[in-house]
Structure 1
């Protein structure tokens, strides 16, 4: 019995000794060939890896593929590119033609190491878009008065301005204006333009357009009027898009109307004893406070009108109160209206007005109290029209509070506190014609000129400056028909 127990004890000790013996490291380790995919859009999520592709154009991607062991040798690698589940390519190069639908398509690249079978993936979006989703827009008038819309796309790599057509929609004749504001999708990189087009004579004189597919989002014609339609004549002379909302301020037959949600409102101050009339450019620009109060120059009675909606108890965009006692007409008697704009000083709203008499300029403002009621009207500066003395176009920058004036070839700038204009930008000496319009946005300055002596149909030229560096980036002489208005939507 003792011998048997001893035998069992020795056997267990031997097993324990073997199991606890030193690991001699006799394993066959192999370093993995780690694949890196470079030369593509970076980001932690597909939403940051979006390739915008204009419809009918081709997207080409040639990534830089390297392996931790194989380096740039691709002989033992295989590739698979897919878009919307469809296999597109089996090489390290990707080419995809956008000839189907608009919108974001899921896409991916899979690189397989054929020796180990290990796969490395890169996912992204192919965002098929209208080529005119982003760009520089010019609304022009042909010699016969017909409206034509151009765009120099910042998505499509083409130098020239191209005509933009809206399917099944005629832009009619006698174009008035184009305006727009930026709209965002799911990320800061996913944005497009909401545009508003105005024409005096057209099946739809006012059109709001979504630039993603360049289709109308709202169409306004005579039937959009909320009042009695039978005798309503819809021939607008001024169209201004709110910079923040899908609201349009419009002058029709001299009266102010507000357009929203497909409807045209009754005229503001419909019972005005003076029977006001607003001429082209007479509306002060829209801003944050515009739903509550408004101002315009009454060309019939030659006076500045200031009105509101009753503020706290009022309905937005419905102006019922007028404050003619504030804007004393004797202060600017015999002066001609130039421009006006709603702006801010130390967070307080003010309307600024620029008037002129002969070659002399005069600046005024309307001040508001804490209850947003107009309380005073005063002159703040005066000076002379700069340069050659011929005023071609004027504007007011309500972000920086500068006046801008264009003479034949030069845009001049002055502080709101004075009208001592200094040259800001001068076109090249060989630029044909004279300045007719300019706009500044997104660090760019876009200028159009008109050359009445040019024999062809494209009598307007376009110049685009980088205003941060103050350099001319694009010069396109005689590139569009007579420019009426323009918009930067890049």
Structure 2
């Protein structure tokens, strides 16, 4: 109406004053009528009962709400539901839980057993207020994982020689060592080694184990395993050899994993081979005039210097052998030079090899060797210059074997540069600069048997013992210490057959 009046004024603006007055009057009436028109809207407001779901994993997206669930374990969720008006009164609330599209529960709680498959499963909870029909939802993932992805691993040997692998999972509800099998793969017999490294995925909290197993007699005597689904990623047998397969017999005596590369060092028929990308190399120093032999534990390698340098104790010629790849040749892990002129054998004549390791000491590469003669211990080192050429070999220190004089196991920590020795029930340590061994950990007096293996990793110490007087087959026991407070966390007497080797991958 106001628009119509304006048009009237526009087209008759030359009319007398009476028309103008009429226009103003009509305009006023129009605005009055508009402002006084009847409002037919409903302004009878009511508060809505808003439901809130708490007590579950939070995050702006369900990718932040992931529940890792080991296979065969049970996920139990029981959220708290509160209403802005009803409080904790759930008499007018219904529930619906779904996992992988299947409705599993219509109560306030969910119990899901991971017994179908691995992987991430979509899941959600729908909470409905039956008075208003309003649905409040919570979506998330259930990530079903292999329970042996992380844990304490023990490789054992049954009385008939059969290999058996155990794991005490650190992500499962089951607090015990369990036998681990690999689908369609036999572990054979006469096990010798389990070793491994931590591998990372997309973040510092997304990690798993790259494990390496070695057996003397098996369809695949050496294998590399991805612990996420516990499936082999590399399998080595006679067909993996790059040389003449007809004359090659694969029966490893020792297997060591490189800490930084996907490389395995293997002793087979006393010779050093490099295993990489599914292939077994020709023996290192194939033309060695001394026809060297390496015994179990005689290799010294597995650090970031190892692509260029290697050393081993030649048990046949009773010599320390220092090798390199020629540095400028560009052929990593291909050791072509040997430096017997540096590692003079007359310095350690009549001494037997205990343990050795390639280390980084004071910013430089060194091979350190611990030797023994009767009750005496001697430490030696092979020093290198900046061009990674050996420059000197000499004695560092000497002392006597601690405790009862019987060395059950020995190792060198290349991170802290400490020697470690185990006697029957005590582990001792000493700085590489000296051999002043001090007690580090003492097993309880009631511990069964004597120490045969130990390993330290991620703030934990794992020890296995062997009790030859135990009447049952499971003669080995497992003890786990927390190194942060030097306390015994787990004691598992007589839980596995004779333990051959162990690995911490937590």
Q: TM above 0.5, one fold?
A: yes
1:459 aligns with 2:470: no
Q: What aligned pairs does 1:243-322 form with structure 2 within 5 A after superposition? A: 243-322=259-338
Q: What aligned pairs does 1:140-289 form with structure 2 within 5 A after superposition? A: 140-289=156-305
Specify whether residues 323 and 62 from structure 1 end up closer, same or farther in structure 2 by C-alpha distance, changes over 3 A only.
same
Distance 2:44 2:411 in 1: 77
Q: Give 1:473 shift.
A: 0.9
Q: Provide, for residues 231-272 of structure 1, a one-character-per-residue CA deviation record: whole Å limited to 9, x for no partner.
A: 111110000111233211100001000111111110111111
From 416, 424, 430, the counterpart of 1:400: 416
CA contact (8 A) 2:73 2:173 kept: no
Distance 1:408 1:314 in 2: 46
Distance 2:203 2:60 in 1: 13
Specify whether residues 3 and 269 from structure 1 end up closer, same or farther in structure 2 by C-alpha distance, changes over 3 A only.
same
Q: Provide, for residues 299-327 of structure 1, a one-character-per-residue CA deviation record: whole Å limited to 9, x for no partner.
A: 11111111111223321111111122221
CA contact (8 A) 2:193 2:254 kept: yes
Distance 1:43 1:353 in 2: 53
Q: Secondary structure at the match of 2:24?
A: helix
Q: What aligned pairs does 1:97-108 form with structure 2 within 5 A after superposition? A: 97-108=113-124
Specify whether residues 175 and 2 from structure 1 end up closer, same or farther in structure 2 by C-alpha distance, changes over 3 A only.
closer
Distance 2:478 2:223 in 1: 24
Q: Give 1:44 shift.
A: 4.7
From 388, 394, 397, the counterpart of 1:372: 388
Distance 1:485 1:93 in 2: 43
Match of residue 468 from structure 1: 484
Q: Give 1:185 shift.
A: 2.9
Distance 1:101 1:125 in 2: 14
- Structure (1 or 2) with the larger CA radius of gyration: 2
Q: Give 1:43 shift.
A: 4.2
CA contact (8 A) 1:276 1:300 kept: yes
1:415 aligns with 2:446: no
Q: Give 1:127 shift.
A: 1.5
**RMSD after superposition:** 2.2
Distance 2:430 2:25 in 1: 109
From 76, 84, 88, the counterpart of 1:72: 88
Specify whether residues 329 and 95 from structure 1 end up closer, same or farther in structure 2 by C-alpha distance, changes over 3 A only.
same
Q: Where do 5+ consecutive residues of structure 2 fail to align?
A: 1-18
Distance 2:137 2:362 in 1: 53
Distance 1:67 1:326 in 2: 80
Specify whether residues 193 and 13 from structure 1 end up closer, same or farther in structure 2 by C-alpha distance, changes over 3 A only.
same
1:5 aligns with 2:23: yes
Specify whether residues 273 and 43 from structure 1 end up closer, same or farther in structure 2 by C-alpha distance, changes over 3 A only.
farther
Q: Give 1:117 shift.
A: 4.1
Match of residue 382 from structure 1: 398
Distance 2:363 2:95 in 1: 58
Q: Provide, for residues 133-178 of structure 1, a one-character-per-residue CA deviation record: whole Å limited to 9, x for no partner.
A: 2211110111121111111122332233221112222211111010
Distance 1:197 1:298 in 2: 24
Specify whether residues 188 and 18 from structure 1 end up closer, same or farther in structure 2 by C-alpha distance, changes over 3 A only.
farther
CA contact (8 A) 1:47 1:187 kept: no
Match of residue 88 from structure 1: 104
Match of residue 326 from structure 1: 342
CA contact (8 A) 2:292 2:316 kept: yes
Q: Where do 5+ consecutive residues of structure 1 fail to align?
A: 20-25
From 378, 388, 392, the counterpart of 1:362: 378
Q: Mean Cα displacement is larger for which, 252-261 or 126-135? A: 126-135
Q: TM-score, normalised by structure 2?
A: 0.91
Q: Mean Cα displacement is larger for which, 406-415 or 346-355? A: 346-355
Q: Provide, for residues 351-387 of structure 1, a one-character-per-residue CA deviation record: whole Å limited to 9, x for no partner.
A: 2111111111111222222122222222222222111
Specify whether residues 345 and 62 from structure 1 end up closer, same or farther in structure 2 by C-alpha distance, changes over 3 A only.
same
Distance 1:342 1:74 in 2: 66
Q: Give 1:15 shift.
A: 5.7
Q: Mean Cα displacement is larger for which, 472-481 or 369-378? A: 369-378
Q: Give 1:445 shift.
A: 0.6
Specify whether residues 119 and 275 from structure 1 end up closer, same or farther in structure 2 by C-alpha distance, changes over 3 A only.
same
Specify whether residues 79 and 416 from structure 1 end up closer, same or farther in structure 2 by C-alpha distance, changes over 3 A only.
same
Distance 2:28 2:297 in 1: 109
Q: Secondary structure at the match of 1:56?
A: coil
Q: Provide, for residues 455-488 of structure 1, a one-character-per-residue CA deviation record: whole Å limited to 9, x for no partner.
A: 1000000001111121111101111000000011
1:427 aligns with 2:425: no
From 143, 157, 175, the counterpart of 1:127: 143
Question: Aligned residue pairs: how many?
Answer: 486
CA contact (8 A) 1:393 1:406 kept: yes
CA contact (8 A) 2:271 2:293 kept: yes
Q: Mean Cα displacement is larger for which, 226-235 or 159-168? A: 159-168
